[in-house]
Every structure is written in C-alpha cells, then in structure tokens.
Amino acid sequence: MLEIEVNVLEELGKKIDQLSNKVTELRIEIWTKYTLFSWQWWMLLAASVLIVVLFFIIVKKEKLLQSIAFLGVIYILNKNLDDVATALDWYDYRIQLEPIIPTMLPANLIIIPMGLSMIYQRFEKWKSFFIALAVFSGFVSFVSLPLMKWADIYLQKSWNAGFSFLSLLIMGTVSKLVIDRAVLISKVHRSESRQDHKYSKGKRRLILPFPFLRWFRKKERAE
C-alpha cells in the first residue's frame, strides 16, 4: 500500500514538473517575442528606475537602515499576497519586466516597498503617515492598476481595486507597527547599555583611589 502511494506521488510530481517547465517555456516565449522592448516593458522599466532614484534622494542616510527594514517587511507581505493571488487566479500579469517570475517583480520589489518606505521615513507621526498611506494606496489601486489593465499588463479577474486599497493600508500599518516597535526596543537597549557603562565606570573611579589612599596613610604613619 505504501509503495503504491509513493509511486502515485512520484507520477504526480513528474506531471507537475512537466507542466511547470512548460509554463516557464511559454513565459519565456511570450516575453522574448511580444514583451521585451515593447512600450509597456519600457514603461515598467522607467517606473522602476524612477522610484529607485527617488528613494536614494529622499531617504536620509541616518535612517537608511530603518527604511530598508521597513521596505523588507513590506516586500515580504506584498510578495506573499501576490503569490497567493496569482496562484488562486484572482488576477494575472500578461507583460513582465523579466520572464521567469510569474508575479510583478517591479511592483513587489521596487515600486510598492520603496514608495511606502519613503512615506514611512517622511511621515513619522501616525496621523500624517496614515493620510499619506491612504493617498498612496488610492493612487496605486484606483489609478495605476486601471492604467496597467488598459495597457494589457494586468489582467483583473476576481480581484478589484477595493481589495488592493485595503491590502496596502493593512501592509503599511502592520509594517510601521513592527519597525516602530523594533526601533523602540533598540533605543531602550542602547540606553540601558549606556547607563550600565556609566555605572561601571563611576564605580571604578570610586574604587581605584582607595588603594592609593591606604598607601598614603601608611606612609604618613611610618614617618
């Protein structure tokens, strides 16, 4: 019985591998024949380069690591959502910047994470951050996605702009909560470390003179 199940799993695995390889071959064929150097491809490339340039211009050097950490959380959340959505056929992408990855790499790695990271770095207070987040999410959901749909880059199925708007709001809020908490813990840890260092340094200053004083007193008594 166990051998039969193993054989069935092996056969199913081989079929999945064959189908996966076939899908990859088709994606490469579509990309090389119809996508590469098309005006939609140039549009995706230009948008990606523009966001990268703006990111390094706007983000302050002293907050670069914090912004990159925020970017990383956004990327993880957005990439997993995009993977689930494309796997469940909620939507699909017909034109890609590269041929291998089925999800939208410029949006997942560059445009959305870096755009939200710039907002996070620029608007530290919750009220201003949430307003900027809502504006960015609205632009992506109600302007960019329809534009991508019109340009035949994005194929909408059971997904809609409202879902996209809510998902961006949730991802931005969760990411800010996580990074703000991490920054707070780091500050508390550094503060405690400095206090411990000052205490130990002051303690050494109190202890070290005593041997000298004892030696000085013994010398006076001897004289």
Nearest 5°: phi and psi at 160?
A: -145, 175
Q: What is the pLDDT of residue 161?
A: 92
pTM recorded for the entire structure? 0.78
Same domain, 52 and 118: yes
Residue 219 in any domain: the answer is: no
22 lies in a domain?
yes
> In terms of residue numbers, what domain contains 16?
1-35
Determine the Cα–Cα distance for residues 152 and 62; give it in Å rounded to an integer.
41
Number of domains in the chain: 2
Question: In this structure, is residue 117 part of a structural domain?
Answer: yes
Torsion sign across C-alpha atoms 167, 112, 109, 102: positive
30 lies in the same domain as 52? no
Q: What is the pLDDT along the chain (223 residues), one digit of tens a residue?
A: 555 666 777 888 788 888 888 888 888 888 888 889 999 999 999 999 999 999 989 888 888 889 999 999 999 999 999 989 988 989 988 888 888 877 788 888 899 999 999 999 999 899 999 999 999 999 999 999 999 999 999 888 899 999 999 999 999 999 999 999 998 888 787 766 666 555 555 555 544 444 544 544 555 555 5
Q: What is the pLDDT of residues 7-34, one digit of tens each?
A: 777 888 788 888 888 888 888 888 888 8
Residues 71 and 10 in one domain: no
- In this structure, the answer to whether residues 176 and 78 fall within a common structural domain is yes
Q: Do the domain assignments include residue 53?
A: yes
Tell me the pLDDT tens digit for each residue of 110-134.
999 999 999 999 998 999 999 999 9
- Shared domain for 137 and 75, answered yes or no, is yes
